[in-house]
Structure 1
Amino acid sequence: LSLPQDYADMLGWERLVDEVAEVYHALPPEDRARAVILCSNYGEAGAVDFYGPERDLPGAIAFVGSYWYWGPGNLPGDVILAVGYE
Structure 2
Amino acid sequence: IEQQKQSPLPQWFADRTDWDIFIEETFLAINTLPEEDRNPSIYVNDYGHAGAINYYLPQFKVLSGHNQFYFWGKKAKPNSIVVYGENNYKFFEPYFKESKFIGSYSREYSNEFSVPIYFLKGAKVPMYKYWERLKNFN
Q: Which has the larger radius of gyration?
A: 2
Check whether the contact 1:24–1:32 (CA below 8 A) recurs between aligned residues: yes
Identity %: 30
Report how far residue 39 of structure 1 moved.
0.5
Please give the per-residue CA displacement for 1:15-45, whole angstroms capped at 9, x wherever unaligned. 1011111111222222224x11000222111
> Aligned letter for 2:42?
I
> Aligned letter for 1:16?
F
Measure, in 2, the Cα distance between the counterparts of 1:14 and 1:72.
28
Write 1 or 2 for the structure with the bigger share of helix.
1
Q: Which residue of 2 aligns with 1:5?
A: 11
Structure 2 gaps, min length 5:
1-7, 87-138
> Aligned letter for 1:17?
I
TM normalised by structure 2 equals 0.49
TM normalised by structure 1 equals 0.74
Measure, in 2, the Cα distance between the counterparts of 1:25 and 1:72.
27
**Structure 1: 4+ residue segments shifted above 4 A:** none
Q: Which residue of 1 aligns with 2:81?
A: 80
Write 1 or 2 for the structure with the bigger share of strand.
2
Check whether the contact 1:39–1:82 (CA below 8 A) recurs between aligned residues: yes
**Is it true that 1:22 corresponds to 2:28 in the alignment?**
yes
Superposed counterparts of 1:5-84, under 5 Å: 5-33=11-39, 35-53=40-58, 57-71=59-73, 76-83=77-84
Q: Summarize the Cα distance change of 1:72–1:79 in structure 2 as closer, same or farther, 3 Å threshold.
A: farther
Measure, in 1, the Cα distance between the counterparts of 2:73 and 2:35.
22
Measure, in 2, the Cα distance between the counterparts of 1:31 and 1:20.
14
What is the aligned residue count? Answer: 79
> Aligned letter for 2:48?
G
Structure 1 gaps, min length 5:
none
Q: CA RMSD in A?
A: 2.2
More RCO (CA 8 Å, sep 6+):
1
